[in-house]
Amino acid sequence: MLKRYLIIGACLSAAVPSAVAEDAALQCTLVRDNSLRLACFDKVYSAQFPLQKQPAPPKSEPKAVDLVRTVDESLNRKEATIVFSKDKAQPLAAPTETLLDAADAYTPLSHMYDLDQNHTSGILSVREHNPMYLIPAWYNSNPNRMPQSSTRGVSENRISKEQKRLEAKMQASFKTKLMEDVFKTRADIWFGYTQTSHWQVWNQGEKSAPFRNNDYQPEFFITQPVKADLPGGGKLRMLGLGLVHQSNGQSRPLSRSWNRIYGMAGMEWGKLTVIPRLWVRAFDQKGERDDNPDISRYMGYGDLKLQYLFNNKQTIATTMRYNPKTGRGGVQADYTFPIKGKLKGYVQGFHGYGESLLDYNHKHNSIGFGFMLNDWDGF
């Protein structure tokens, strides 16, 4: 009888880590990138079935910056001192924490900016950046039929004047890593490009349906993985700095453009990802040569992006801008749901100023229904 109980107890104890591994493996299924999903499974099951002899990690492997200890050491030494994080070994008595942490490490923010490991594609490969989508039905409550700015006055043109409320909206975006693990850290240097277009596809008049506006946005930016705890169980995962140019490529008086230097941070509270940015205008024309000198009054000095990923791969996200001095800004809300493979249904809504660069000082409400064409849903 005693022998039977010992056998049952041994089976139950063996089943506990197995069940935990299954829970962690289910979380790995939410990882969208193929190589990172495989790495997630490897990490989960290697914790349950460890090798007898673990390979030693590379001595020169870059680490994330421990932000709190870096600040403390710099203040104590009265000079800039960088302190790298040290991965702590997980106790064998806590298999649940070990396995679930392995699955949780591969978050949307980590995927996008290689915070935990470099992507297998290396540098100079085409990667996802901002969302790529097609919205065949984009409804504008208040079309801007007479675009204007303080230095260009009111612009009258056929396309703007004859535009309909219903049009199509689309966005294409990519980025590529130019350098990785610079400054002997996990810092990476990137180039990104985003193009957003409004197409009067439903405006079938005497001439072909025109593109009402195109916004072009190239940028260079650097990301530095960091580690710091935040209130409410949050984690600071990344700091970044970038230079972005945005213009609509049109001739005066419809030309609109500006350059910005921005700083950003990447934070996570479970499945909630938060990216705040602050920016200042830089390298722009002055006086009458500036197409839109008052753009900051409407577009503000930063934005706040939030995204929440549900277990069923649905996402909700929002991007908010606000200038407290003028009381103007804008908010965009996004909702995606899976259809098949990488194809997802997409609903986008907008309220306020600056839905496009041409409409930076024009307020309206818009809503559209379409398709998301890539894995990155919120930013």
Taking a C-beta distance cutoff of 8 angstroms, is the pair 31, 117 a contact? no
3-state secondary structure of 304: strand
Neighbours of 347 (CB within 10 A): 16
Catalytic residue from among 74, 150, 197, 247: 247
Q: Tell me the Cα Rg of the chain.
A: 25
Locate the DSSP E strands across the chain: 65-66, 133-140, 148-149, 153-154, 166-182, 187-199, 211-230, 234-247, 257-269, 272-281, 302-309, 315-323, 328-340, 343-353, 363-372
Q: What does the longest C-alpha to C-alpha distance in the chain come to?
A: 94
Based on the residue annotation, tell me whether 245 is a catalytic residue of this protein: yes
Catalytic residue check, 351:
no
**Cα distances (angstroms) measured from residue 93 to each of 13, 88, 104, 105:** 12, 14, 19, 20
For the record, the structure tokens of 129 come out as: 């950046």
CA-based torsion, 302, 308, 309, 312: positive or negative? negative
How far apart (Å, rounded) are the C-alpha atoms in residues 319 and 110? 20
Q: Which of 74, 150, 197, 245 is catalytic?
A: 245
- Residues classed as catalytic: 245, 247
